[in-house]
Every structure is written in C-alpha cells, then in structure tokens.
C-alpha cells in the first residue's frame, strides 16, 4: 500500500514538473511584449534590477525613470556603472525606506 501511494505521489510530481517545464518552454519571450511607458520604476536592492532599469531607459522604452530609493550620489554611481541616462529623464526618489512606502 505504501509503495502504491509513494508511486502515485511521485508520478503526480513528475507530471507537474513536466507541465510547468512545458509552460516555460512555450511562454512568449518578454522582449516581444515590451512597449514604451511613461515611467520606468526600479526598486533598488539588487544590481540586476538597476542594470535592467538603466538598459530599458537607454533603449528609449520609458520617458522617465525613477530609482527608489536612491540618493543623488547613488544615481551618479549607477550612471558610471551602467551608462549615462539623460539627467532630465531621472526622477530622484529618496524618501521611501521600504517597498510599501514606494507605493505612496
């Protein structure tokens, strides 16, 4: 009885893994669905997020970009590291301390 139960659970898990792998294999590439936006919002915390935000801004996919939270000094460092974005495109947001505060 236990072997049958373990076999059933293992089969179910394998089935779920195959279904999920199939979904991600056929999922459309997100680059195809990107459209120009009024604002690119980057929640700081990980270099990958900031790098992707700068990449989107430099490619012209947003009229403006806000990195939150970020000081003027941080924005200068990001510009050196990820490439310059026109200063009039960047919105300085240095008040939020948490993601919840970013929403307000």
Tokens of 36: 């120009």
Position 27 scores a pLDDT of 74
pTM of structure: 0.62
What count of other Cβ atoms lies within 10 Å of the Cβ of residue 27?
8
Position 43 scores a pLDDT of 87
Is 82 in contact with 50 (CB distance < 8 Å)?
yes
Identify the burial level of 82 via C-beta atoms within 10 angstroms of its C-beta, where 0-12 means exposed, 13-18 middle and 19 or more buried.
middle
Q: Give the model confidence (pLDDT) of 55-94 as tens digits.
A: 999 999 999 999 888 888 888 888 889 988 888 888 888 8
Q: How far apart are CA 97 and CA 78, in angstroms?
A: 19
Looking at the predicted structure, is the pLDDT value of residue 20 above 70?
A: yes
């Amino acid at each position: 009885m236990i072997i049958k139960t373990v076999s059933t659970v293992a089969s179910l898990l394998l089935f779920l893994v195959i279904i999920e792998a199939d979904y991600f294999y056929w999922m459309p590439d997100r680059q195809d669905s990107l459209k120009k936006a009024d604002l690119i919002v980057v929640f700081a915390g990980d270099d990958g997020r900031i790098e992707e935000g700068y990449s989107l801004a430099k490619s012209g996919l947003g009229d403006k970009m806000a990195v939150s939270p970020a000081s003027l000094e941080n924005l200068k460092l990001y510009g050196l590291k990820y490439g310059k974005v026109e200063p009039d495109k960047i919105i300085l947001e240095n008040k939020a301390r948490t993601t919840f505060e970013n929403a307000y």
